[in-house]
Chains A and B, each alone.
Chain A
Amino acid sequence: MTETNDPLKGYRGRARERLQALGVRVWSEVRILNEEGSSFEGVILPRSETSDDLHVVVKLATGYNVGLHIDRIREIQELGFKEAIYKIPEQEFPESPDLPKVTLLGTGGTIASRLDYRTGAVIPAFTPGELYGAVPELAELCNLTTRKIFGVFSENMGWEEYVTLARAVGDEIEAGVDGVVIGHGTDTMGHTAAVLSFMVQNSPVPIVLVGSQRSSDRPSSDAALNLIHAVRSAAYGDVAEVQICMFGPTSDQYGLLHRGTRCRKMHSSYRSTFRTVGDIPLCRVSATEFEPLTDEYLPRNSHRRVKIDPLYDDRVTILYYYPGMKPDIVDALVEQGYQGIIIAGTGLGHVNKPVFPALERAIEKGVHVVMTVQTLWGYAQMYVYDTGRDLLDIGIVPLDNMLPETALMKLGWVLGHTHDHDEVREMMRHSFSHEITEREPHNGYLILQGGLPETEEFVLSQWK
């Protein structure tokens, strides 16, 4: 995401030398003649840094791009030069005194964008003016303010970013907004939603994370609709918790609001990738309606005072158990100074016997070891089998139906407050934001099995 002033951006080695020798650069409008006598007229584009050093990329007048081998280029004639402008002209976002105030916090990733057709570049839209140009419907919903907190890809989010984000959310709420929307890449949106559920407590207003699964530069993107749903939920929704707002089905139908501690990305690319696990979503939101699915949530209340609690200890990790795991892996973590280990165990929360002594050693050294289930659905019920009971005896803390990723974020947050074994245990087992639920409703576990006639009949009767 860094801008460089390199006139031969992305070109290395031989291609770079050749272009330099020919006196042309990126954005040069050129006519290239190759050894076969073919002529290519277009603009030299920057080259992807991961590509080889033997080709020049040209965007032709027809809009197509081609790569030309430098050894086959006979001559390049520069016809002109016009730098790409990575900017969106702004339009004033209309102010309406009667509409709620919503702040959109940006963390990176694009929610809206426009294309520069000359170069094919995708230019992110973020300021209210830019967003108004991209998603004009927003102006009918709220008065929008935007703040870019940082620009990182979702996978590069970390504890420092979580703290900054939590504080920013707190600032906005203190300033009196009616709802906060956080634009976020989808890969680690679940982690951020979970950690914010602990760092931002007692919110008077909705805090809604939103992103897109299909980039916003394409006509079929889910980005605009997700943003509209999220802004509606922040401005008018009643759930004053941290929640994720993304597509319900893959069809352009409605969004679902998922509780931040119970939500998981379940498909690498589907639009309807986010699912509430072990419970049902909070609400269904469409362009015109809210349909609450439960009444168990913290309702909006402007008199409530938000509490920002952004403490953390990042020496925590997840150990995904597999058969044949050796104890040395636990010892290595302890040796490296990890203070908290979340085990994603098999079944009801199990690991094999040979690992036991290593876990015992870890706990003796003050490392906090907690148990979740890699099945994602269901409870760690370690009292059922001997294996589980032995693990409990060692001092491993069962986390019931807390999701492994939620447990990771929570343990990091808890260890920012205390390292006392009993206090950690108590905080981990206390449910701050439904991260542990006492009851799993039977519709909290619902994965239809495809291929069965009754499933197929049902699926055909619904929008996918």
Chain B
Amino acid sequence: MLGSLHFPLANLERRAVEGSIDYEQVGLRVGLEVHQQLLTEQKMFCRCPAGLYTEHHDGIVLRHMRPTLSELGEYDGTALMEFKTKKNIVYLLHKSNVCTYEMDDTPPFIVNRRAIDIAIEHCLMLGCDVVDEVHIARKQYLDGSIPTGFQRTAIVGVNGRLPFRGRQLTVIQVSVEEDSCREVRDRGHLAVWRTDRLGMPLIETVTGPELRTPEEVEEAILLIGRVGRSTGHVRVGMGASRQDVNVSVRGGQRVEIKGVPQASRARQLVHSEALRQVELLRLRDELHRRGFQRPSDIDMEHIDITTLVTDFRLDSLRRENWERFVEAEEMRPGMELAEGPFSVRAIRLPGLAGTVGRASQPGRTFAHELAGRVRVIATLDQPPILLHSDDWPEYPQAGEELKEIRQAASCTPDDALVVVWGVESDTVTAAEEIQLRYADATEGVPHETRQALPDGCTDFERILPGPDRMYPDTDSPPRLVSRARVDRLRVDLPEPPWGRQA
């Protein structure tokens, strides 16, 4: 919702970003992670009913997620900062569909055998090699979408092939995993999650990064969906199937667009992301031209300008406007709101004039990249989240007011200026985050997870963790998959969709 706000395009960078790009020329590569809920009576690691959704709750739990130690055995500055600007995470419980397992107050029961069987069927449909022993792993998520802080997941099959447009699409792996919570609300420092869906079994089909155009992406999603449904053992309907789409262009980076609900939505999202990466690579080149070669070359200074802007005409920066927002959003101290005074902060970015307003996705600029980080990590979410000198709002006295702020922040004409507001400690986090985002920009495309917006664009969701976030689930013993069991399941397999077409 907040991400769909539009910034006016920078005057100096009004490129024809809506237009087409040559996907082959930019080296577009897309892989899929297709998730389908399984039609089981019970959840994956407890005996709660699967598929029973509720819109009310009868219990609430408050948790926080603490990052576990990094590879170096210590928190670096960023991790500690992220922890200090931590989210209050609230889980809504209803007795009809969750037990103490989902609350993370009871260890898992033995994994649902039926779920493994369905996953094996799906593997066989895709020509996967089924593993001999299923090992449950934990995949860390710190956003609160799972109360443990990790998702229980296991590989069931690998090395499959899917006939696709006259070639073979690689199925890297099929895993079975527990579904996450449904988000109810995410404001400031508070995230609220509903737990009914949590723990339902789903299969994840991962393809190689072999799709070359948005059209292929849509078609492959539909095909994999049909394979799953052909056994009659996956759920259908709203939310039963979701996909993550991994997009990169040559020289770019794998970016995961998370939770794409329908295949038809994937096209525009892939296009926007391809464009975004191309533009971010151009920005990188521009930064290099200006002498910002490495992340450490990015400098930043910030000062509090609350007093300066008290009587400014610009509504966004006035305390009353912030207080109205806090009241309208019912933000409570200690929950949505951090402790501390209201502050307006001017951030000077030396030598970066003109880069904030550069194009990125269709209708967006680099300012959206900054705003995404500020919204998620500094938790400042009052629209328009930030203001910047490349596109200062137009109103009487705009020029004078911007000039005063620039003077206060000691900006030279070469410097970019960004202004944020909110609780003081959050504005400091925002300033640091903006510097970090620019530091990333010197290297091109950051490795991140992005959420899909209704208009076909994406917004920052979190930094994408690598395989480093996986470790064995010591609460669950490995499960044997005998060849006899695999053969038994093979007997009743339906004809694959491509078989019927032939």
A residues neighboring B (CB under 8 Å): 34, 36-40, 48, 51-52, 55, 57, 60-69, 72, 88-89, 91, 113-115, 117, 120, 122, 125, 130, 133-134, 136, 213-215, 217-221, 224, 250-253, 267-271, 456, 459-460, 463-464
Complex formed: what's the CA distance from A253 to B140 in Å?
23
- The answer to whether the Cβ of B265 comes within 8 Å of any Cβ in the partner chain is no
A68 in contact with B133 (CB, 8 Å): yes
B133 in contact with A55 (CB, 8 Å): yes
Q: Which listed residue (B60, B80, B147) contacts A463, Cβ 8 A?
A: B60
Q: Which residue of B lies closest to A134 (CB)?
A: B69
Q: Which residue of A lies closest to B127 (CB)?
A: A36
B residues neighboring A (CB under 8 Å): 57-75, 80, 93, 100, 103-107, 129, 131-135, 137-140, 142, 147-150, 153-155, 158-159, 173, 175, 466-472, 474, 477-478, 480
Q: Which listed residue (A51, A91, A122, A220) contacts B149, Cβ 8 A?
A: A220
B139 in contact with A55 (CB, 8 Å): no
Complex formed: what's the CA distance from A221 to B142 in Å?
12
Tell whether A62 pairs with B59 under 8 Å between CB atoms, given A67-B131, A120-B471, A269-B105: no
B133 in contact with A66 (CB, 8 Å): yes
Tell whether A120 pairs with B470 under 8 Å between CB atoms, given A39-B159, A64-B175, A67-B135: yes
Which A residues touch B142, using CB under 8 A?
Answer: 219
B74 in contact with A133 (CB, 8 Å): yes
Complex formed: what's the CA distance from A37 to B471 in Å?
26
Q: Which residue of A lies closest to B128 (CB)?
A: A38
Tell whether A67 pairs with B478 under 8 Å between CB atoms, given A89-B74, A251-B62: yes
Which B residues touch A89, using CB under 8 A?
Answer: 72-74
A463 in contact with B62 (CB, 8 Å): yes
A-B contact pairs, 30 of them (CB 8 A): A38-B159, A40-B158, A55-B478, A62-B467, A63-B466, A63-B470, A64-B155, A65-B135, A66-B134, A66-B135, A66-B158, A67-B134, A67-B135, A68-B131, A68-B132, A72-B132, A91-B74, A115-B68, A117-B468, A120-B470, A120-B472, A213-B105, A217-B68, A217-B471, A218-B149, A219-B65, A224-B66, A267-B105, A464-B59, A464-B103
Q: Which listed residue (A40, A65, A224, A459) contacts B472, Cβ 8 A?
A: A65
Minimum distance in angstroms from B136 CB to a CB of chain A: 8
A64 in contact with B470 (CB, 8 Å): yes
A64 in contact with B69 (CB, 8 Å): no
Complex formed: what's the CA distance from A267 to B68 in Å?
26
Which A residues touch B470, using CB under 8 A?
Answer: 62-64, 117, 120
Q: Which listed residue (B64, B74, B158, B474) contacts A215, Cβ 8 A?
A: B474
Complex formed: what's the CA distance from A267 to B100 in Å?
11
B471 in contact with A221 (CB, 8 Å): no
Complex formed: what's the CA distance from A41 to B452 in Å?
33
B471 in contact with A460 (CB, 8 Å): no
Which A residues touch B67, using CB under 8 A?
Answer: 219
Complex formed: what's the CA distance from A221 to B140 in Å?
13
Complex formed: what's the CA distance from A40 to B130 in Å?
12
Which A residues touch B61, using CB under 8 A?
Answer: 250-251, 463-464
Q: Which residue of B lies closest to A457 (CB)?
A: B58
Which B residues touch A38, using CB under 8 A?
Answer: 129, 158-159
Q: Which residue of B lies closest to A39 (CB)?
A: B159
Which A residues touch B148, using CB under 8 A?
Answer: 214, 218-220
Complex formed: what's the CA distance from A442 to B106 in Å?
30
Q: Which residue of A lies closest to B139 (CB)?
A: A63
Complex formed: what's the CA distance from A173 to B468 in Å?
43
Complex formed: what's the CA distance from A106 to B87 in Å?
31
Which B residues touch A463, using CB under 8 A?
Answer: 60-62
Tell whether A269 pairs with B106 under 8 Å between CB atoms, given A134-B69, A136-B80: yes
Tell whether A460 pairs with B59 under 8 Å between CB atoms, given A62-B467, A63-B467, A117-B470: yes
Minimum distance in angstroms from B180 CB to a CB of chain A: 13
Complex formed: what's the CA distance from A224 to B66 in Å?
8
Minimum distance in angstroms from A34 CB to a CB of chain B: 7
The 3 closest A-B pairs by CB, nearest first: A67-B133, A219-B149, A63-B470
* A-B contacts, CB under 8 A, total: 167
Which B residues touch A61, using CB under 8 A?
Answer: 467
Known: A67-B133, A69-B133. 8 other contacts (CB 8 A): A37-B129, A39-B159, A63-B466, A64-B137, A117-B470, A221-B149, A251-B60, A464-B59
Minimum distance in angstroms from B320 CB to a CB of chain A: 31
Minimum distance in angstroms from A106 CB to a CB of chain B: 18
Which B residues touch A136, using CB under 8 A?
Answer: 75, 80
Complex formed: what's the CA distance from A456 to B80 in Å?
38
Complex formed: what's the CA distance from A91 to B73 in Å?
9
Which B residues touch A215, using CB under 8 A?
Answer: 474
Q: Which residue of A lies closest to B88 (CB)?
A: A252
B72 in contact with A219 (CB, 8 Å): no
Which B residues touch A120, using CB under 8 A?
Answer: 137, 470-472
Minimum distance in angstroms from B472 CB to a CB of chain A: 4
A63 in contact with B468 (CB, 8 Å): yes
User: Residue among A38, A62, A66, A214 with the most chain B CB within 10 A?
Assistant: A66
Which A residues touch B69, using CB under 8 A?
Answer: 88, 113-115, 125, 133-134
Which B residues touch A459, using CB under 8 A?
Answer: 58-59
Complex formed: what's the CA distance from A65 to B57 in Å?
36
Which B residues touch A224, using CB under 8 A?
Answer: 66
Which B residues touch A270, using CB under 8 A?
Answer: 100, 105-106
User: Residue among A48, A64, A88, A250 with the most chain B CB within 10 A?
Assistant: A64
Which A residues touch B64, using CB under 8 A?
Answer: 252
Q: Which residue of A lies closest to B100 (CB)?
A: A270
Complex formed: what's the CA distance from A456 to B59 in Å?
8
Complex formed: what's the CA distance from A72 to B69 in Å?
37
Which B residues touch A68, using CB under 8 A?
Answer: 131-133
Tell whether A219 pairs with B100 under 8 Å between CB atoms, given A66-B155, A251-B61, A251-B62: no
Complex formed: what's the CA distance from A115 to B139 in Å?
12
Which B residues touch A134, using CB under 8 A?
Answer: 69
Q: Which listed residue (B57, B68, B105, B131) contacts A66, Cβ 8 A?
A: B131
Tell whether A114 pairs with B68 under 8 Å between CB atoms, given A65-B137, A214-B104, A464-B93: yes
Minimum distance in angstroms from B92 CB to a CB of chain A: 10
Tell whether A250 pairs with B103 under 8 Å between CB atoms, given A64-B137, A72-B132: yes
Minimum distance in angstroms from B471 CB to a CB of chain A: 4
Q: Which residue of B lies closest to A64 (CB)?
A: B155
Which B residues touch A269, using CB under 8 A?
Answer: 100, 105-107
Minimum distance in angstroms from B277 CB to a CB of chain A: 23
Minimum distance in angstroms from B58 CB to a CB of chain A: 6
Complex formed: what's the CA distance from A459 to B94 in Å?
12
Q: Which listed residue (A40, A114, A218, A271) contacts B150, Cβ 8 A?
A: A218
Which B residues touch A91, using CB under 8 A?
Answer: 74
Complex formed: what's the CA distance from A68 to B133 in Å?
6
Minimum distance in angstroms from A456 CB to a CB of chain B: 6
Which B residues touch A251, using CB under 8 A?
Answer: 60-63
Complex formed: what's the CA distance from A55 to B147 in Å?
32
Q: Which residue of A lies closest to B140 (CB)?
A: A219
Complex formed: what's the CA distance from A125 to B147 in Å?
24
Which A residues touch B469, using CB under 8 A?
Answer: 63, 117
Complex formed: what's the CA distance from A33 to B342 in Å?
61
Q: Which residue of B lies closest to A132 (CB)?
A: B74
Complex formed: what's the CA distance from A351 to B469 in Å?
55
Complex formed: what's the CA distance from A39 to B172 in Å?
11
Q: Which residue of B lies closest to A461 (CB)?
A: B60
Complex formed: what's the CA distance from A64 to B138 in Å?
9
Complex formed: what's the CA distance from A104 to B502 in Å?
71
B471 in contact with A117 (CB, 8 Å): yes
User: Residue among B134, B140, B153, B469 with the most chain A CB within 10 A?
Assistant: B140
